Amino acid sequence: MAGKQNITIIDVAQKAGLSSATAGRVLGGYGNVSEKARLKVMKAAKELGYMPNAIAQSMKSQVTKTIGVLVGNIANPFFSEIIHSIEVKGAEAGYSVIIANTGEDIDEEVKAIKTLYAKRIDGLIIATAQPNDMILDASKKRLYAGDVPVVYIDRELLNVNELIIKADNFSGSYEATRYLIQKGHENIGLIASIFTSTMYERIDGYKKALSDAGMPCHKEYIKIGSTASVEEGNRFTKELLAQSAELTALFVLNNITCTGALLALREMNKKIGRDISFIAWDDFELAKILDPPLTTVTQDPKKMGELAAEKLFEKINAKRENKEWFGESTIVLKTQMIERQSCRDINLLK
């Protein structure tokens, strides 16, 4: 057998002096065998350098030890950190991770889910691009909440009864808007990305802070995008400042559109903290070293990714044991506003 490239179960069985069926049960981890037989097979496998066929094993055990992670934009640092956390947790639990990037396109999202299911993943983590008010029909609902265990992150769907792990978007936005109001700002522009549940909650927090302060909410001050892109952030910023000269502050609810907004302000020669106050959602490294450093609302993507993986593995294990999973339906993680120097106190000028 010297020089043989593909060592099979038959080879292991022959070396151990046992049947192929017995060797298969030992190496596949199913069925009953004696401890003596198990030790013989494991010793033979080690000596031959046997490598299991993952595809064959998954067909036998109905387990692939693979999960899927679907996000709208992998270039978004928020999603990148979530994915990294999931991969770390996956490796600890012996799972491989397949990542699908949809470009915030709903049709691509549906295709990606079908592709992941075709690869026989054991579970799926989804940050959906579906609109906040989307009611799925029966066929779509089977995709988003079918037989494969699912955990949602960041964004949820109205009629899908699956665990969602998200940030406290409403409170984070409310706090940031109230902060600007307390600094004397009465005209605050808001730039949002695609209208997912996440954006809905953040916009709602903005509106509630204005209402509680007895201030009107001007629809023309709110820009909602369709692509969560740098280009939209740039365009919306220029449109807001061109049509609303009275604006004194901008609150940008997505870190990709934030990049576009910052570029627009530079192109318009607007000085942050002097000509316009600025708050960004999601902290990022450059926010600390910009001139001036940016005030941000930060989430905890690392914690979100870790929890998503842990809860998904719980659901997978429950299914494998034919048990019902009785975990939480919603996990909400706190946000935190990090105050820096990008917001001027207008009260001091009055």
Which spans in the chain are helix H? Answer: 9-16, 20-28, 35-48, 54-61, 77-92, 106-118, 138-144, 169-182, 197-212, 230-243, 255-267, 301-320
For residue 242, give the nearest of 270, 203, 216, 219 by alpha carbon: 270
Give Cβ neighbours of residue 206 (< 8 Å, ≥ 6 apart).
173, 174, 177, 188, 190, 217, 222, 251
**Dihedrals phi, psi of 83, to nearest 5 degrees:** -60, -45
Contact of 50 with 43, CB cutoff 8 Å = no
Summarize pLDDT for 171-189 with one digit per residue, the tens: 999 999 999 999 999 999 9
pLDDT at residue 61 tops 60: no
Per DSSP, the three-state class of 187 is coil
C-beta atoms surrounding 349 within 10 Å: 7
* Residue 31, pLDDT score: 66
Contact indicator for 316, 123 with CB cutoff of 8 Å:
yes
Helices 255-267 and 230-243 pack at an angle, to 10 degrees, of 50
Q: What is the pLDDT of residues 8-44, one digit of tens each?
A: 888 889 999 998 888 888 877 666 788 898 899 989 9
Across 50-54, 97-101, 141-145, 208-212, least confident range = 50-54
Q: What is the mean pLDDT of residues 64-85?
A: 92
Residue-averaged pLDDT of the chain = 89
What pLDDT shows up at residue 62?
60
pLDDT greater than 60 at residue 54? no
Q: What does the pLDDT read at residue 236? A: 97
What does residue 61 show for φ and ψ, rounded to 5 degrees? -95, -10
End-to-end Cα spacing for the chain:
90
The answer to whether 20 and 9 are in contact (CB under 8 A) is yes
What pLDDT is attached to residue 247?
Answer: 95
Q: Report how far residue 271's alpha carbon sits from residue 262's, in angstroms, rounded to the nearest whole number.
A: 10
d(CA 203, CA 256): 17
**pLDDT at position 56:** 52
- Coil/strand/helix, residue 3: coil
